[in-house]
Structure 1
Amino acid sequence: MKLFRARSAVALVAATSFLLAGCAATTTEATSTTASCDGVEVVVNFGILDGTNSSQCIEITGSSAKAIDVVHDAGFSTEGTATYGDAIVCRVNGLPSPTEPVVVEGQAEFTESCADMPPAYAYWALWQKSSDAASWDYAQAGLGDLTVKKGESLGLVFTTGDSTPTPVVE
């Protein structure tokens, strides 16, 4: 039974890492977003949270960088969960607040503790796309393990309700 629980926990982390939302040192620099980004475009949409949406191109040294480093170099702080670390994004720039309730229509209010998995109706979704012309896809790894390449885009969207919107460039 313990083996089943351990395998279930590993499967849960793997599945939620790509549904929700660094090792190599990189040098990055923020530049304004244009139609084409020679680095990695970082898009953050706060949804119902009181944050400022952003889209910017982050230049990287080399051909790839850890996603968490690129997001931090774009000026965003992130916090993972106690259980899953940086595999799950719990907060971006301190949001959702650890002291103020999150209100999602049709759901019970809650205050995000970042102890475990966020609720399925209010979480940070991690998105990735391979080029300007590509479609957004759920990231296949958590922010702490994901590597992005020049020309790719990385998106964090605070998602509420039953559907998960893709990132919107502001």
Structure 2
Amino acid sequence: MSIPRALLATSGLLLALTLTACTSAPAETISEEPSGCNGVEVVVNFGVLDGTGSTTCVDISGDSAKAIDVVHEAGFETEGTATYGDAIVCRVNGLPSPTEPVVVEGQAEFTESCADMPPAFAYWALWQRSSAGGQWEYAQSGLGDLIIKKGESLGLVFTTGDSTPTPVSE
């Protein structure tokens, strides 16, 4: 499914503005020692969801690869939304469940349908880091379009509440 660039840019800007408006404290920044990964480091944190996070080094052929392929090679299955496809990550390894409610303090319970944009208080944040010792930055493209280079890191964090934590190696 092809998403017009203007729509994707507007969606990303809207999400970024929503997150900025909802964030009461700056995003936590984790500076880590170099991991020794010669490919792409993939860090997945499930937060309040009942999933097992991990940090995995994925070898890629060539200098770069599509982020979605790297995440899948790391052993994680992703699902996009009906409206935005793989530009928005709705589920990782089946979570949040399509049948069990997500509980976030201060919000009404909800069940994620993956029909449209997830709520600003409970969604998968996509992060990118240009080097092992660098700072995490919010990805500027969706998982399906993002190109990641060898030596970079990619993070998926299920974010809840009013702050957006950066990935933490597990």
1:91-130 alignment to 2 at 5 Å? 91-130=91-130
Across the aligned residues of Structure 1 and Structure 2, the Cα RMSD in angstroms comes to 2.2
Contact conserved, 1:19 with 1:139, CA < 8 A, in 2?
no
Partner of 1:72: helix, strand, or coil?
helix
Larger radius of gyration: 1
Partner of 1:60: helix, strand, or coil?
coil
Give the TM-score normalised by structure 1: 0.84
Q: Which residue of 2 aligns with 1:73?
A: 73
1:139 partnered with 2:124: no
Contact conserved, 2:102 with 2:110, CA < 8 A, in 1?
yes
- What 5-or-longer segments of structure 1 have no aligned partner? 1-5, 21-33
Matched pairs, number? 152
1:13 partnered with 2:11: yes
User: 1:70 corresponds to which letter in structure 2?
Assistant: V
Superposed displacement of residue 13, structure 1: 2.2
The separation in 1 between residues aligned to 2:53 and 2:101, in whole angstroms, is: 21
- What 5-or-longer segments of structure 2 have no aligned partner? 19-33
Q: Percent identity?
A: 76
1:54 partnered with 2:54: yes
Superposed displacement of residue 12, structure 1: 3.2
Contact conserved, 2:15 with 2:120, CA < 8 A, in 1?
no
User: 1:73 corresponds to which letter in structure 2?
Assistant: E
Superposed displacement of residue 51, structure 1: 0.3
Partner of 1:126: helix, strand, or coil?
strand
Q: Which runs of 4+ in 1 moved over 3 A?
A: 6-12, 16-20
Give the TM-score normalised by structure 2: 0.84
Superposed displacement of residue 95, structure 1: 0.1
The separation in 2 between residues aligned to 1:94 and 1:67, in whole angstroms, is: 18
Q: Which residue of 2 aligns with 1:27?
A: none
Structure having the larger proportion of residues in strand: 1
